[in-house]
Amino acid sequence: MEAAAGGAEPAGGCAAAPEEPVVSLADVLAENEELEKEARAVLGGSDHERCSYSQGAVKRQALYACSTCTPPGEEPAGICLACSYECHGTHKLFELYTKRNFRCDCGNSKFKNLQCKLFPEKGKVNSGNKYNHNFYGLYCVCKRPYPDPEDEIPDEMIQCIVCEDWFHGRHLGAVPPESGDFHEMVCQACMNCCSFLWAYTSQLAVPTVTKVTSLEDERIVLNVKETEEKNREIKKESGGDHQGKIKEEVQVEQYNEPSTSSGSKCPETVTKSDEPVCKLRELQTKQSLKKDTATFWPSNWRSKLCTCKDCLKMYSELDVQFLIDECDTVLAYENKGTSDQETDRRDPLMDTLNSMNRVQQVELICEYNDLKTELTDYLRRFADEGTVVKREDIQQFFEEFQSRKRRRTNRMQYYCS
């Protein structure tokens, strides 16, 4: 770099060819494993072979909307993972991530010219399903697609656990905390509908910085106002450093966290409480800060909501009974998917061995050991010399390996004949 800056040129006057970016095998494997892990988490709790319609309104599942079959102007409809593969494989789909209490619509009366290949005997409509603009590929209060080709502002999309719409972080009325500091979010509109949650914010919610957002002028840097005084009030009411308290609660109550082990079960939904005093009523006697913002909540906060008779009735009237069900969380769904996938994953080598006779098994194991030994010796040369293994090096190894294998096979045939 210094020589180039001084005006020197490579011999011959030709510019040096740009070096090919080097990526280690470990980096590739790590990235691939992370992508597989995310896919297992999102899709693992859903069946990719059988339509979910027969299960009724599934508690939580991966959903898609088909823009080809139900474009804007038509009635919204959602399809399960299996139908997205089998019935809509070549169509334009919107990925909706997961939704709760939804029954697959594929092939019902909303689809004019399509019959479900996996479960044709569907009812005309699923009256219990809930729909929003996500089913047309639009999200947030700005009603824009994601990804948005016209949006140049880098932003994170966060899902509200009540309405299950997705929001840009800059459209929540508050600066979202760091992603690792909260687990769930309730949007502004849902906080207005579920105003009782404000009574819990001082004790449970993760503190935020409020801001003013103008949706009419989307391409400006948002005017952010820090409300340090309000944050101090929240910390005072919650008894000190709120972030420290959240981390302490998470550590102390880890046994309430949905487990990833296959034998684990989510805590049963509480239907009644023996407590004589309503937690909510106690909190409402104290002064609580109400703001026109979204709120952010740590793990296990649902378990701290009041479950007295009056509160259970209120949840039912507001149609938010799921708030006291810790198995309703996306985290619980992802953990279950990961656990189920890990249980179902089998070693392909062992599957192949089990399908062979004794002689074939011995031959395969010998071939595997030969490949492992030769590849290790081959790569060790590069490690000793400190050189990078390139694509052509690997291709050369397998070509030579196959050549040696053919020579060994030919000699065996000669001696046997």
Condensed to tens digits (0 to 9), the pLDDT of residues 358-385 reads 788 788 788 888 888 888 888 888 888 8
Q: How confident is the model at residue 278 (pLDDT cuts 50, 70, 90)?
A: very high
Q: Residue type at 169? A: G
User: Residue 220, Cβ neighbours under 10 Å: how many?
Assistant: 10
Phi (first) and psi of residue 27, to 5 degrees? -65, -45
Instruction: Give the integer Cα–Cα distance in Å for 48 and 44.
Output: 9
Least confident of 35-49, 185-199, 248-262: 248-262
**Dihedral sign for Cα atoms in the order 203, 208, 212, 215:** negative
- 276 vs 346, residue with greater confidence: 276
Return all residues near 245 (Cβ < 8 A) that are at least 6 apart. Answer: 238, 239
Counts of helices then strands in the chain (DSSP H, E)? 13, 10
Q: What is the pLDDT of residue 408?
A: 66
Percentage of the chain modeled with pLDDT above 90:
47
Q: Which long-range contacts does 155-159 make (Cβ < 8 Å, 24+ apart)?
A: 158/185, 159/97, 159/185, 159/330
> What is the arithmetic mean of pLDDT over 34-59?
82
Average of per-residue pLDDT values in the chain: 79
Return all residues near 118 (Cβ < 8 A) that are at least 6 apart. Answer: 50, 51, 82, 83, 86, 87, 106
Q: What is the pLDDT of residue 10?
A: 43
Instruction: Give the integer Cα–Cα distance in Å for 60 and 337.
Output: 11
Vertex 53: Cα angle to 51 and 57 (nearest 5): 130
Q: What is the pLDDT of residue 213?
A: 46
Q: What is the pLDDT of residue 350?
A: 67
| Cα Rg of the chain, angstroms | 29
Q: If residue 233 lies in a helix (H) or strand (E), which one and from where to where?
A: helix 228-237
Q: What is the pLDDT of residue 214?
A: 46
> Does the pLDDT at position 297 exceed 90?
yes
Q: What is the pLDDT of residue 119?
A: 97
pLDDT in tens, 133-180: 999 999 999 999 999 999 999 899 999 999 999 999 999 999 999 888
Q: Which of 32-36, 243-247, 254-258 has the highest mean pLDDT?
A: 32-36
> Does the pLDDT at position 14 exceed 60?
no
CB 187 within 8 A of CB 167: yes
* The model's pTM: 0.64
The residue among 186, 178, 189, 175 whose CA lies nearest residue 222 is 175
Q: Residue type at 14? A: C
